[in-house]
A = this chain, B = another copy of it.
């Protein structure tokens, strides 16, 4: 682990209490960004180039239980995971940042995200891990600090410590202490997200490497921060005003612009598959037909739809096999 990460952790924990319990546990929701995180200004501290804004997925997420042990062990959805497996490696490497708590851990993780949903679990995973650790160690950290610790595991995890709409402020400081998430409005009952899993294929390039390649080789990426800053402001105002079409347009524009920066990297980063293109065109046609539906896409082939409850039946009719999520219960 980088010294810079250990120093950051010590900084965060400076005034924390410590009343070790037998075990700690926590739940964190998965989240989908409406204005994307794409590009790091600092790799060790996971500091982003631009602020991002997401919506958390209610009870879809990760529950984690952690306790001290004589040897490391990791369980995922009730099944022991080999310690050489990527999931176990990332989890245990992260925990090595916290020697003040212990050397070896028993970690049990349950994802309540249906596997079929094709949602990333690293955001809710690292958020739940940090919150469970806080519970175990008795630090009593506030959410701002939990957000910053979760960020070290995965950038988007910083947003998963909150429910509802969440903004992760990029911050400007080199020490990473002004880069954390904060909650926005957390109630839009008829807001819906539809998940279309188009491909289970492993991404040819992971998000971390894709981000770095884009920042290093895409000329168009130079205009991305301005796009992101504009979109986040539009979406914030649209959430305040409960103006769904404005939110939908900005979210779709933002996601396509992110994919545009990937496509203009070298070698090209084409996360979109032919099936993704079918759906992108289908969303345009549906909207031209008067249906208020918008899309967003993360660094992968799968499409997420944004719509309101009043159009749920019509959207499900057009997009067969859609899994509908109610972020606000």
Contacts and interface: CB of A to CB of B under 8 A. Distances in A.
Contacts of A253: 264, 266, 268
Interface string A253-288: 100110111011011101011111110110010000
A21 interface: no
B277 A272 contact: yes
The oligomer's copy count stands at: 2
Given A223-B222, A263-B256, A274 B278 contact: yes
A216 to B, nearest CB: 13
Interface stretch (A58-66, A136-144, A224-232, A321-329): A224-232
A220 interface: yes
Contacts of A222: 223, 226
11 contacts: A220-B223, A220-B227, A220-B257, A220-B261, A221-B223, A256-B264, A259-B260, A260-B263, A268-B284, A272-B277, A274-B274
A272 B273 CA distance: 11
Contacts of A96: none
A291 to B, nearest CB: 14
Given A219-B230, A270-B281, A274-B275, 20 more contacts: A219-B223, A219-B224, A219-B226, A219-B257, A220-B220, A220-B223, A220-B227, A220-B260, A220-B264, A249-B266, A252-B268, A253-B266, A253-B268, A259-B260, A260-B261, A263-B263, A268-B280, A268-B284, A270-B277, A272-B277
Interface string A17-32: 0000000000000000
B284 A270 contact: yes
Interface of A: 218-224, 226-227, 230, 249, 252-253, 256-257, 259-261, 263-264, 266-268, 270, 272-278, 280-281, 284
A3 to B, nearest CB: 36
Contacts of A257: 218-220, 263-264
A252 B263 CA distance: 11
A327 B276 CA distance: 35
Nearest to A228: B219
A275 to B, nearest CB: 7
A49 to B, nearest CB: 14
Contacts of A266: 249, 253
A281 B264 CA distance: 14
A79 to B, nearest CB: 34
Contact of A264 (B227, B278, B280): B227
Contact of A263 (B259, B268, B274): B259
Nearest to A258: B264
Contacts of A221: 223
A248 B251 CA distance: 34
A284 B261 contact: no
B273 A276 contact: no
A256 B266 CA distance: 10
